[in-house]
């Protein structure tokens, strides 16, 4: 990698980090807890969000910034659950950036929000490098991907605060060791909170909802 390319990348990340800091301040000022959800394509991000919204909507005010390369399909699915959703189409970009999130917040009422989900583009490489102003990064790993995914994409797992193993109802039908996958992830980041879930059966969703609710409470107390 040339020195010129490194310099350009550093400038891009520096500019992004400045905007991310502003986003974080805006959210914190309103007592809004936010999660940046990272995963490979097809890990079940949108389905998990749909189930999570249904669980939390009675008690928390929710909103979603939904990122995708093309289409508003995921955003439209989430809108059907009756919460504010802002869609971002990157037009080929492999990740969301802080400016896109900042602009999306202009259309959301932060004073009427407790919890913001940022659904990043399906990719475990680029999104891990870009701070979006979130409170926590959450990384998803489905049982259909292989337990070595944390070792192949360590940055995403190193920078996350939570690992959600998804689609655990499929474990009997695939060659996947949940224990090995979790051990691999913890070898990268021993501080990860680990949750196992199935959006199909509902397994583990209460624990995920409880973690989110607890974080929202702490955020409100600190604002």
Please check whether residue 91 lies inside any domain of the structure: yes
Q: What percent of the chain has pLDDT over 70?
A: 96
How much is the pLDDT for 74?
A: 94
How much is the pLDDT for 222?
A: 82
Unique residue bearing structure tokens 């397994």: 203
Please check whether residue 8 lies inside any domain of the structure: no
Please check whether residue 73 lies inside any domain of the structure: yes
Please check whether residue 76 lies inside any domain of the structure: yes
For the chain, how far is it from start to end, CA to CA, in angstroms?
43
Please check whether residue 9 lies inside any domain of the structure: no
Give the tokens for residue 20: 């991310």
Residue 165 in 3-state DSSP? Answer: strand
Q: What is the number of domains present in the chain?
A: 1
Please check whether residue 180 lies inside any domain of the structure: yes
- 31 touches 223 (CB < 8 A): yes
Nearest to 28 by CA among 97, 96, 113, 94: 113
Please check whether residue 3 lies inside any domain of the structure: no
Structural domain including 183 reads: 14-222
92: left (phi over 0), alpha (psi -120 to 50) or beta: left
How much is the pLDDT for 75?
A: 95
* Residue 189: CATH number of its domain: 3.40.50.300
For the segment 100-131, what is each residue's pLDDT rounded down to a tens digit? Answer: 999 999 999 999 999 999 999 999 999 999 99
Rounded Cα distance, 195 and 184, in Å:
14
Please check whether residue 1 lies inside any domain of the structure: no
Give the tokens for residue 88: 């971002």
- Residue 92's pLDDT band (cuts 50, 70, 90): confident
Average the pLDDT over 203-218 and give the result. Answer: 98
Q: What percent of the chain has pLDDT over 90?
A: 89
Check: pTM over 0.85? Answer yes or no: yes
């Amino acid at each position: 990698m040339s020195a010129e390319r490194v310099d350009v990348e550093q400038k891009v990340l520096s500019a992004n980090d400045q905007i991310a800091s502003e986003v974080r301040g805006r959210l914190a000022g309103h007592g809004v807890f936010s999660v940046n959800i990272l995963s490979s394509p097809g890990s079940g991000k949108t389905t998990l969000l749909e189930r999570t919204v249904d669980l939390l909507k009675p008690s928390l005010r929710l909103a979603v910034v939904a990122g995708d390369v093309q289409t508003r399909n995921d955003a439209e699915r989430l809108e059907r659950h009756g919460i504010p959703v802002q869609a971002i189409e990157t037009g080929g970009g492999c990740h969301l950036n802080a400016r896109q999130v900042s602009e999306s917040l202009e259309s959301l009422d932060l004073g009427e929000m407790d919890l913001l989900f940022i659904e990043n583009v399906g990719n475990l490489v680029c999104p891990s490098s870009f701070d979006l102003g979130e409170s926590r990064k959450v990384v998803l790993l489905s049982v259909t991907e292989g337990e070595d995914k944390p070792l192949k994409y360590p940055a995403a797992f190193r920078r996350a605060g939570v690992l959600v193993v998804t689609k655990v109802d499929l474990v009997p039908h695939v060659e996947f060791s949940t224990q090995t996958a979790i051990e691999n992830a913890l070898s990268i980041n021993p501080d990860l909170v680990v949750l196992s879930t199935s959006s199909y059966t509902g397994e583990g969703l209460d624990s995920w909802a409880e973690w989110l609710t607890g974080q929202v409470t702490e955020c409100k107390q600190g604002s």
